[in-house]
């Protein structure tokens, strides 16, 4: 029997994810000292996102689509793509991406591969998020402000978010690589069981459909 990858390159229905709730989570340990002061330590270097898709289910057809998607993913077994409608671009959601949106790296004249990332904050403690699931057709790349032709000067792997420059276009030493893009969050269902009540649904009850980010 052929080996099936643990991640399916398919997006959860966007009409349903638009109504979902959720966002980033971090883990912080806080120790209260006898002096009244406290010490804080972050247990995770990166945040992890979680969602509840149940709030996006408005009709029985929506529910049917979720059940079909759930069954094909075998519950928690296979990951998939999720569009976070509050954070899916290299820029604010209301603005079209630009090739100058995000700093990706600095050339050294030899390195040909760079990882897409998105930076949050700018002054006190900016955080860089690895972008592993860019959306095909949305990626723009520039070197020192000069736009490049994607798939000619540089290629992008949509399954990893890796940029690979053609040999004749490897960034020179000190050259700044920037990019703009749309992206999905790699996730999986956080349950192996969906509880569905048609009677409750007809009276406005919201089914719980937990989704959690996976780190690839």
Q: Report d(CA 163, CA 113) in Å as an integer.
A: 5
Q: Does one domain contain both 84 and 98?
A: no
What is the pTM assigned to this prediction? Answer: 0.91
- Identify the pLDDT of residue 50: 98
Q: Does one domain contain both 72 and 101?
A: no
Q: Does one domain contain both 96 and 175?
A: yes
Q: Report d(CA 102, CA 116) in Å as an integer.
A: 9
Spatial neighbors of 159 by CB under 8 A, at least 6 apart, are 7, 9, 132, 133
Q: Does one domain contain both 81 and 97?
A: no
Q: Does one domain contain both 82 and 166?
A: no
How far CA 199 is from CA of 5, 20, 64, in Å, comes to: 37, 21, 15
Q: Token pair for residue 15?
A: 């009409």
Q: Which of 166, 184, 42, 175 is nearest to 118 (CA)?
A: 184
Checking DSSP bridges between strand 7-11 and strand 79-82, what pairing results, if any? parallel
Q: Report d(CA 102, CA 161) in Å as an integer.
A: 14
Place of tokens 């945040």: 47
Q: Does one domain contain both 2 and 83?
A: yes
- Identify the pLDDT of residue 82: 98
Tell me: the pLDDT tens digits for 61-103?
888 899 999 999 999 999 999 999 999 999 999 999 999 999 9
Q: Token pair for residue 190?
A: 């956080």
Number of domains in the chain: 2
Q: Does one domain contain both 56 and 139?
A: no
Spatial neighbors of 32 by CB under 8 A, at least 6 apart, are 38
Tell me: the pLDDT tens digits for 182-196?
999 999 999 999 987
Q: Does one domain contain both 176 and 156?
A: yes
Q: Report d(CA 140, CA 142) in Å as an integer.
A: 7
**What phi and psi, each to the nearest 5 degrees, are found at residue 10?**
-140, 145
Q: Report d(CA 197, CA 208) in Å as an integer.
A: 11
SS3 state of residue 115: strand
Range of the domain at 209: 1-88+185-216
Q: Does one domain contain both 95 and 83?
A: no
Q: Which of 157, 111, 149, 150 is nearest to 133 (CA)?
A: 157
Q: Token pair for residue 104?
A: 């990706």
Judged on CB neighbours under 10 Å (0-12, 13-18, 19+), 165 is buried
Which residue stretches of the chain have pLDDT < 70? 1-4, 200-206
Q: Are 126 and 83 in contact (CB under 8 A)?
A: no
């Amino acid at each position: 029997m052929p080996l099936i990858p643990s991640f399916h390159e398919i997006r959860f229905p966007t009409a349903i994810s638009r109504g979902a709730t959720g966002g980033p989570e971090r883990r912080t340990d806080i120790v209260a000292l006898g002096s009244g002061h406290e010490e804080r330590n972050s247990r995770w270097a990166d945040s992890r996102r979680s969602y509840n898709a149940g709030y996006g289910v408005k009709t029985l057809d929506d529910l049917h689509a979720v059940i079909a998607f759930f069954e094909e993913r075998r519950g928690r077994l296979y990951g998939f793509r999720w569009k976070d409608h509050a954070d899916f671009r290299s820029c604010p959601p209301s603005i079209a991406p630009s090739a100058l949106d995000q700093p990706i790296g600095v050339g050294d004249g030899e390195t040909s591969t760079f990882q897409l990332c998105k930076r949050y904050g700018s002054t006190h403690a900016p955080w860089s998020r690895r972008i592993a699931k860019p959306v095909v057709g949305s990626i723009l790349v520039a070197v020192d402000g000069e736009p490049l032709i994607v798939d000619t000067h540089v290629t992008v792997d949509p399954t990893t978010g890796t940029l690979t420059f053609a040999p004749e276009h490897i960034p020179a030493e000190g050259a700044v690589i920037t990019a703009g893009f749309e992206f999905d969050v790699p996730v999986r269902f956080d349950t192996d069981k969906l509880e569905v009540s048609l009677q409750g649904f007809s009276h406005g009850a919201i089914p719980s459909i937990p989704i959690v980010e996976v780190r690839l």
